[in-house]
């Protein structure tokens, strides 16, 4: 048997998604950092000159053409040096360095984030200019136009790289559809071991909880494969196939219809009506309940195919006592569902589909069949359980089948006396619940149910 289970494929995908988000968050910060480095470079070019710095010999100060600043911003030509006291800025929109004489009023700062302004404070020497230019060269922001533009472009390149990274990442990520395709193939592979097949089924079960995935299972041919597996000769495959089927049809009308057409109902009833290991029956019952829920067409066929007899025999059979409450729950849900639909019909604006649903539910005549097949007698058997939640289910079910069973219950003195005894028990439990400050406690609720049943028997 499986003791370990691989990470469901979606989990690993989710991990990849998380790292993708981190990449997206980090990269723009990286871009911003680079922009700051560039501006810092412009701002600090003349600050803190280190006398020990080796002067690059190919930059002779005598070769430098010196820029003549005016009151207007002018572009610096390649190789031009700037006199001390000039305002220098790098226009990040054009990529050009610009300089002018300082204004008498203070330069505005921070109003235009694209313009970086620097003030050269000390007097200007050839040595300082050389240093400044050397630094500029080292930082690849030379005063050459093309290079400055390249520098600007370099700030955007990471964005292109980011895009490419995203494409690569999404190419690496398996979509749920791809994962399911792989799992269906793995399951359908005649070379695969039993264990591999079970693993594939467990992973599929995880994925088909999503409505879209369950519908993709149909188009992949996986649903029919699963239905066919219900009568496999391997109980462990039957069990897990029923598990996948039950999850796929849950709250998914399209898959319910498809499963009906694929013959799932007959196969599930066959599993429940024949000698099978308990885990197989348990999952088959789960799949049956999911297939029938909110699907009157399937409920009708369930009754026509003798489904109720199958469940009656299952309830009575030795060895499947643990399934009894599930069987009763399934029947109880069917009755309540029909009642709710009929009630909502009273206040809802009647439309064609609602009329059709009402018509379909009207053909699901479960209640009279229940009393015919001895369920008036069977349901109270659940009361004998010492478990409160099982008794709760029994009490609620007795109330639901009261109409066809009332005469039967009135003659059953054993039922009345048993109900009286648990009434005393729950009175005491509800009392202590209230003493602990719980006014609407669970035992109070059970007591109300017992009293409601007793009231209907009088």
> Which long-range contacts does 220-229 make (Cβ < 8 Å, 24+ apart)?
220/180, 220/181, 220/184, 221/184, 222/180, 222/183, 222/184, 222/187, 223/248, 223/255, 223/258, 223/259, 223/262, 224/262, 225/184, 225/187, 225/188, 226/201, 227/259, 227/262, 227/263, 227/264, 227/267
**Closer to ligand NAG by Cβ: residue 96 or 203:** 203
**Closer to ligand NAG by Cβ: residue 89 or 281:** 281
Whole-Å CA distances, 411 to 400, 403, 416 = 18, 14, 9
Q: Are strands 74-75 and 80-81 parallel, antiparallel or unpaired?
A: unpaired
Strand pairing partners for 139?
A: none
| Count, residues near ligand NAG per rule CB under 6 A | 8
**Closer to ligand NAG by Cβ: residue 95 or 222:** 222
Least Å from the CB of residue 229 to ligand NAG: 9
Can you tell me which of 193, 233, 413, 417 binds ligand NAG, judged by CB under 6 A? 233
Least Å from the CB of residue 279 to ligand NAG: 18
CA–CA distance, 256 with 264 (Å, rounded to integer): 9
| Touching ligand NAG, residues 264-283 (CB under 6 A) | none
**Closer to ligand NAG by Cβ: residue 12 or 228:** 228
Least Å from the CB of residue 178 to ligand NAG: 14
**Closer to ligand NAG by Cβ: residue 232 or 309:** 232
Q: Does 191 bind ligand NAG (CB under 6 A)?
A: no
Least Å from the CB of residue 239 to ligand NAG: 15
Q: Does 181 bind ligand NAG (CB under 6 A)?
A: no
Q: Does 184 bind ligand NAG (CB under 6 A)?
A: yes
Whole-Å CA distances, 354 to 220, 255, 347 = 32, 20, 12
Cβ-closest position to ligand NAG: 221
| Touching ligand NAG, residues 212-231 (CB under 6 A) | 221-222, 225, 231
Least Å from the CB of residue 391 to ligand NAG: 40
**Closer to ligand NAG by Cβ: residue 174 or 412:** 174
Overall residue count recorded for the chain in this entry = 458
Helix locations, 348-401, DSSP H = 352-362, 366-372, 375-378, 388-400
**Closer to ligand NAG by Cβ: residue 9 or 69:** 9
Cβ contact 31:231 at 8 Å: no
Residue 142 per-residue DSSP state: -
> Which residues bind to ligand NAG, rule: CB under 6 A?
184, 188, 221-222, 225, 231-233
């Amino acid at each position: 048997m499986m003791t370990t289970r691989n990470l469901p494929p979606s989990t690993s995908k989710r991990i990849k998604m998380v790292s993708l988000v981190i990449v997206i968050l980090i990269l723009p910060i990286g871009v911003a950092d680079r922009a700051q480095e560039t501006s810092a470079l412009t701002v600090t070019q003349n600050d803190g000159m280190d006398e020990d710095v080796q002067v690059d010999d190919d930059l002779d100060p005598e070769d430098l053409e010196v820029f003549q600043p005016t009151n207007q911003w002018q572009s610096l030509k390649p190789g031009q040096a700037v006199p001390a006291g000039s305002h220098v800025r790098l226009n990040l929109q054009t990529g050009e360095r610009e300089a002018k004489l300082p204004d008498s009023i203070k330069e505005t700062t921070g109003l235009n984030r694209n313009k970086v302004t620097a003030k050269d404070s000390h007097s200007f020497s050839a040595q300082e200019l050389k240093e400044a230019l050397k630094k500029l060269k080292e930082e690849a922001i030379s005063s050459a136009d093309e290079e400055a533009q390249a520098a600007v472009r370099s700030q955007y390149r990471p964005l292109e790289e980011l895009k490419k990274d995203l494409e690569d990442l999404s190419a690496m990520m398996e979509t749920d559809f791809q994962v399911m395709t792989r799992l269906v193939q793995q399951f359908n592979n005649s070379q695969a071991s039993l264990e591999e097949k079970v693993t594939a089924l467990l992973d599929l079960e995880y994925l088909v909880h999503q409505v879209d995935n369950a519908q993709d299972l149909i188009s992949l041919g996986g649903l029919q494969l699963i239905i066919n597996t219900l009568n496999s000769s391997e109980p462990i495959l039957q069990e897990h196939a029923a598990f996948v089927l039950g999850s796929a049809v849950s709250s998914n009308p399209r898959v319910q219809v498809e499963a009906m057409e694929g013959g799932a109902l007959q196969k599930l009833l066959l599993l429940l009506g024949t000698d099978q290991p308990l885990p197989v029956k348990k999952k088959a019952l789960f799949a049956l309940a999911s297939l029938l829920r909110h699907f009157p067409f399937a409920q009708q066929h369930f009754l026509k195919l003798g489904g109720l007899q199958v469940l009656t025999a299952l309830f009575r059979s030795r060895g499947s006592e643990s399934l009894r409450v599930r069987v009763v729950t399934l029947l109880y849900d069917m009755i309540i569902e029909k009642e709710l639909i009929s009630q909502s019909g009273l206040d809802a604006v009647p439309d064609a589909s609602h009329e059709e649903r009402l018509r379909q539910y009207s053909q699901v005549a479960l209640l009279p069949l229940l009393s015919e097949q001895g369920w008036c007698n069977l349901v109270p058997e659940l009361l004998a359980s010492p478990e409160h939640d099982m008794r709760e289910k029994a009490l609620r079910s007795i109330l639901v089948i009261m109409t066809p069973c009332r005469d039967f219950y009135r003659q059953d003195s054993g039922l009345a006396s048993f109900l009286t005894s648990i009434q005393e028990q729950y009175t005491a439990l509800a009392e202590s619940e209230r003493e602990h400050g719980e006014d609407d406690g669970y035992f109070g609720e059970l007591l109300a149910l017992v009293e409601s049943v007793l009231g209907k028997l009088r």
